[in-house]
Structure 1
Amino acid sequence: MSQVPATAAPRPPSYEPFGWHQWHDDFWMSYQFRRGLGETQEGGGAVSEVFQAASKITPNDFESWHREWTHIAERNDRRGDEEIGQRHVRSAMNCWLRAANYFREAEFWLKPDDPRRLATFDRCEHASHKFLGQLTPKAEVVEIPYEAGKSLPAYFIRSANGGERQPVLISVGGLDSFKDELWFMTGRGALQRGMSVLLVDGPGQGGALRRHGLVTRHDYEVPIGKCIDWLERRADVDRTRIAVSGSSLGGYYAARAGAMEPRLAACISHGAIWDIHERWKTRDESHGLASHIKWVFGARSMAEATEIARPFTLDGVLEHMKCPYLIIHGGHDVLGVESVRQVHSYAVRHGVNATLRLTSEEETGAEHCQHDNPTLGQELMIDWLADVFGIDQTRLAFYPG
């Protein structure tokens, strides 16, 4: 009698050079889980809740992903409302911040035309708004005038620690990150160091894409310029100290803006990309993020998205940058390190004041955008920016939390 071969047991979760890898047979889902797990460090979740959700998620099953993240999001959102009713402001804020990030995770794998996508995004924003409304000073939920009567959704948050006229960091996400996640990547650290922040959904991101149908564009100095126009009309902004940061694909956006928008005093690529078309030219519909890429680029196929991406290059652009430029990149980034070295060497060769910081396996934070340790990434970026802006951190007040 022939024996039926035993099915190999799935490889258990493990710690890898790029951080915790939950499901070895589902790379992209594990990557997104690692992202949510890391953001617990910055208030974007609770470790136990995140692993509780993971224990009920089936790899390659996007419905289970949506269900379990939604479950813990709703639990925290509801508890936040209960706590504020009892005047427990800090607990309510903590709950709402976790809920916002859990709703962001819950939304991630839904198809662009799934009605739950916008509904879940709305819930993410609503939880964020409740959190932001309790900050001191109270944050502002704003719309930056853009083009053709449309606007860019944003959060403007002043530091309680920075005086009357403050320097400002304009922060944008990338292919799949948006303003509500940027708190865990740049926003919190900037406020702690005496800077205001403008967390923005640019074209191809967040509410700009989901509500206004604004797909991405290669000349990101245009939307960033609109943000600067808006900031310059405010009396509480130091016009001479406005910087931009962009994470992941936003690393290209920030570099493009830093090179082409002369009003910027500093630029940070949180993950650097030299040429999007070159990177994607061999990608097809089987790519794990194909659906999202097509949505962001307004394309019907990966081939069309790749063609649209032709002008998304720093070649012939980066040499125009006049401000200090930081490139921070994970040493075990899913995108590799060759591209970031190309960006840095080109910048230096053309006289740009560029600094490259590769994070290592030993120190952690070696994943794409330091998703395995976003605290390290935030500290490195914002300390660099504080130094560029001449902020003496020994003169700042330090508050717990």
Structure 2
Amino acid sequence: MVRLLQTTPPGGVEFAQCLAIARRIDSKDENSWYREWMGSAEDLRAEASALAQSGALEGGRSKWLRAIDYYEAAASGFGSCAERHQAVVAGIRGCALDFLGAGLSPGEVVTIPWLDDYPLEAYFLPAPHASEPAPIVICICEPGHRKEKSLLALAGHAAERGLSLLVADLHGPGLSSRFDEIVGRRDLESAIGSVMDYVCARDDVDDTRIAVVADDWSSSYVARGIALDSRYAAAVCDAGLWDIHERVCLSRRLTPDERACLPGASDCRVARQIMCPLLVALPGRGWLRADIATRLVAQMKRDHLDVTLKIFETDRDGPLDVGQCNDFIFDWLATRLSGQPRMRN
């Protein structure tokens, strides 16, 4: 509930709706939380579909996004109830499927081979009105994150710039997520290579113009997953900042002799291994202070010349304008995918 309110501009209709739902929750009724949030999510999903059918796809998209927030709020009110969990996942997936079928260029649900018994699932949206193979942006969700919200948040940005979009997560196909089976694997990053293999094999994709973006922008998971892969034309990830941050934190707990065995904080190994232009996008109030990020990216530029740092500032009392941030990111991606040659190491 707190997280939901933190992403909602205060004083607006959506903020008032959240408070209205919260007031209807009966603390003496253990089912009240789930019932109220699920009911409100279902209502929003129906409103979204009605808007899309009337031609107001953008209005529908906003309501589907909000419905997913409400489904997620419903999920936070119960423990390990499998039936309710599946109902929440079905609602979240339903929002994405409704959207995929409502656009001018209908999207599809695709299955991507990965592990022998564990395929990946992704949503693919073709570039609108494309008559030839189109450039594409791959959005990779952080381990544990679901892909539906990213699909709805990014689809418009991609379509406006003539880009196809593929959004993938690690939950596997269907309603019963098997993520717990693979979360401890050391080779999770190999999933990113499998997604890239699939995209390159599509006839409607220009395999010389493929970019990747992390669902939360500054992802060390994506940075590690694309290292040494020359097929990417551009990437939005943390470029190894988290790796450096971890080494610095670890070094503070070691003796001087032990510290000497670690690579230096200025050793940007991950960035050196990424073979395409990089955008490091960070919120002004995030896990890494802006001045530290600026200094570290300046160090990266010694080994990787094409690194751009963007700090998204916010008003002190307001949430980050994610739509505006994604506009900047997709403008940057569209420029890198405009047919310019990829950078080679």
Aligned residue for 1:119, secondary structure, equals: helix
2:38 to 54, 70, 74: 70
Q: Is 2:1 aligned against 1:34?
A: no
Structure 1 contact 266–388 (Cα < 8 Å) conserved: yes
Q: Equivalents in 2 of 1:104, 1:234: separation in Å?
A: 33
> Is 1:379 paired with 2:332?
no
Counterpart code for 1:166: A
Deviation at 1:239, TM superposition (A): 0.1
Q: Is 1:358 aligned to residue 306 of structure 2?
A: no
How big is the shift at 1:258?
3.1
Distance 1:334 1:62 in 2: 35
Instruction: Tell me if the contact between 2:192 and 2:226 (Cα under 8 Å) persists in the aligned partners.
Output: no
Amino acid paired to 2:332: W
Q: 1:320 and 2:273 equivalent?
A: yes
Does 2:284 correspond to 1:331? yes
What letter is aligned with 1:200?
A: A
> Counterpart amino acid of 1:361?
T
- Superposition TM-score, scaled by structure 2 size: 0.75
Ranges in structure 1 where 5+ consecutive residues have no aligned partner: 1-28, 282-312, 393-401
Q: Is the 8 A contact 2:90 2:175 kept in 1?
A: no
Q: Specify whether residues 177 and 237 from structure 1 end up closer, same or farther in structure 2 by C-alpha distance, changes over 3 A only.
A: same
* 1:172 partnered with 2:120: no
Is 1:240 aligned with 2:240?
A: no
Aligned match of 1:227 in 192, 195, 210?
A: 195
Letter in 2 for 1:373: D
Q: Give the aligned length.
A: 318
Contact 1:328/1:357 (<8 A) preserved: yes
SS at match of 1:317: helix
Matches of 2:291 and 2:174, distance apart in 1: 32
RMSD, matched Cα: 4.0
Between the aligned partners of 2:80 and 2:218, the Cα distance in structure 1 is 20
Distance in 2 between the 1:56 and 1:271 partners?
A: 45
Write the distance in 2 (CA, Å) between the matches of 1:69 and 1:279: 42
Contact 1:245 1:269 in 2 (8 A): yes
Taking every aligned residue pair, what percent have the same amino acid on both sides?
Answer: 25
3-state SS in 1 of match to 2:227: helix
2-structure distance, mates of 1:253, 1:151: 19
1:396 matched to which residue of 2? Answer: none
Whether contact under 8 Å (1:174, 1:249) holds in the other structure is no
Q: 1:180 to 1:105 in 2, by over 3 A?
A: farther
- SS of alignment partner, residue 274 of structure 1: helix
Which residue identity is paired with 2:166?
Answer: L
Q: Does 1:102 align with 2:70?
A: yes
Counterpart residue identity of residue 117, structure 1: H
Match of 2:177 in 1: 210
The answer to whether 1:389 aligns with 2:337 is: yes
